[in-house]
Amino acid sequence: GITLPHEHLFSDISFCYKSAEEIDRKELGKQKVGLNNLYLVRRNPYIIKDNLILFGEDLITFEVLVFKKAGGNTIVDQTNIGVGRSPIAIRNISNITGINIVMGCGYYMNSTLPDYILNKSESDLVKDMVKEIYYGVGNTNIRPGVIGEIGMGPVIEDWDEKLLKIVTKVH
């Protein structure tokens, strides 16, 4: 059937926020996305914080139902640790809509991760990912079906190299 192979049902990429340079646009970042500022978001999606955070189970359920009505049956959600992965909400939406949702696992850019993850050894992070794949996230029994999205910046730094090694070992 029809599959969306790289989606983010829930996400928080507010770390990408770039405040407006012009003095008269300083308040822009605090606005909600609407018809009055949509043209600006289309030119610079990072200028309004509201555009960078996607949560709201009811809205996302509605959008998944629209996908189902169009003939879709599977969504691969690539949202991972650090950018808003929500296993229980994903399961709820899958149960309500009847759509298969494959959840991803892994880590995103170091700027999105808490210190307790960044300070773990490569070996411990490999164990954590393998544990999720076999037993589920936390106590949810919800297991990822794909490794990814794995995020890196434009320059390969120490964390990026460590992450590539982790993912390679888990795979």
Q: Locate the domains of the chain by residue range.
A: 2-11+57-170, 14-52
Instruction: Round to whole Å and give the CA distance between 12 and 83.
Output: 5
pLDDT at 32: 94
Can you give the pLDDT of all 171 residues of the chain as single tens digits?
999 999 999 999 988 887 766 656 778 888 999 999 999 999 999 989 999 999 999 999 999 999 999 999 999 999 999 899 999 999 999 999 999 999 999 999 998 999 999 999 999 999 999 999 999 999 999 999 999 999 888 899 999 999 999 999 999
pLDDT at 27: 82
Architecture of domain 2-11+57-170: Alpha-Beta Barrel (3.20)
| Helix-then-strand count for the chain, H and E | 6, 6
pLDDT at 7: 98
pTM above 0.85, yes or no: yes
- Tell me which DSSP letter residue 140 carries: S
Residue 11: count of CB within 10 angstroms of its CB: 20
Instruction: Round to whole Å and give the CA distance between 47 and 30.
Output: 9
